Amino acid sequence: AQSVTQLDSQVPVFEEAPVELRCNYSSSVSVYLFWYVQYPNQGLQLLLKYLSGSTLVKGINGFEAEFNKSQTSFHLRKPSVHISDTAEYFCAVRGNYGQNFVFGPGTRLSVLP
Amino acid sequence: DTGVSQDPRHKITKRGQNVTFRCDPISEHNRLYWYRQTLGQGPEFLTYFQNEAQLEKSRLLSDRFSAERPKGSFSTLEIQRTEQGDSAMYLCASSFGGAVNEQYFGPGTRLTVT
């Protein structure tokens, strides 16, 4: 079974500052990793995913994440945030058997002017 | 392609009543998922269909919950004898083929049981 931890429930940051949202996972098998964003009153939208290959993954809206197998982490970063990035961010993991996605509890990013 | 749609968007019901939600996936998507999301939590997997076959169910899916996808297109999720603990956002997602296919999520149905 897999599990996902997002240590920061809320992250306030000023506009144009960098941000890192942390995600750690546990699994006994190889995993695929995902970051989703949920804007208010909208469905979840995929930001990026790690399947294999390069550990640095680039996604939409200037976000990127780095897979670190030894630390079982998949932290999300953006060098300069905008007000429009204010949303809930979810890290998710799926084992390489089965279709079940396991989501973390989410991190609420608030970008302040 | 209008994306994944869910109906209704909001449902208020009294404890003990039955409710049914509908999900219309993206038309060419063969896989359909149901999740439940409570306040402050990430989505929790409930069940998954490939075409019309229900292939996986979470232990969260009690006997009061049933899901169908009769023709491999839209799906329904029914909750019988609702309880206050069923209050949550119910999310539907769909995907097409592949082992690590992206799931496209609908806007959700918010259920409030009074």
Greater confidence, B10 or A41?
B10
Mutate to test the interface with A, among B9, B24, B39, B45 (most CBs of A within 10 A): B45
Please name the residues in contact with A76: beta carbons below 8 A apart, sequence gap of 6 or more: A20, A21, A23, A35, A47, A48, A63, A64, A65, A89, A91
Provide the shortest C-alpha distance from residue A106 to chain B (in Å). Answer: 6
Which residues in chain B have their CB less than 8 angstroms from residue A49's CB? 100, 102
CB distance B77 to B54 below 8 Å: no
Greater confidence, A94 or B88?
B88
Greater confidence, A102 or B60?
A102
- pLDDT for A111: 97
CB distance A59 to A47 below 8 Å: yes
pLDDT at residue A95 above 60? yes
CB contact under 8 A, B42 and A94: no
pLDDT at residue A28 above 70? yes
Tell me the pLDDT band of A82, cut-offs 50, 70 and 90. very high
pLDDT at residue A100 above 80? no
- pLDDT for A30: 78
By Cβ distance, the residue of B42, B45, B102 closest to A105 is B42
CB distance A50 to A74 below 8 Å: yes
- pLDDT for A2: 80
Tell me the pLDDT band of A16, cut-offs 50, 70 and 90. very high
User: Rounded to whole angstroms, how far apart are CA atoms B114 and B75?
Assistant: 25
Lowest-pLDDT choice from A26-35, A52-61, A85-94: A26-35
User: Rounded to whole angstroms, how far apart are CA atoms B89 and B8?
Assistant: 11
- pLDDT for B103: 87
CB contact under 8 A, A45 and B105: yes
Which of B3, B1, B21 minimizes the C-alpha distance to B11?
A: B21
CB distance A100 to A4 below 8 Å: no
Alpha carbon of A101 to those of A91, B47, B63, B84: distances in Å?
10, 11, 22, 26
Query: Can you list the residues of chain B whose pLDDT is less than 50?
Result: none
- pLDDT for A99: 63
Per-residue pLDDT, averaged over A79-102, amounts to 87
Which of A34, A76, A57 minimizes the C-alpha distance to B100?
A: A34
- pLDDT for B99: 53
**What are A80's two structure tokens?**
């300069």
Q: How would you label A42-76 residue by residue, b for 16+ Cβ within 10 Å and e otherwise?
A: ebbbbbbbbeeeeeebebeeebbbbbeeeebbbbb
Query: Could you tell me what percent of chain A has a pLDDT over 70?
Result: 96
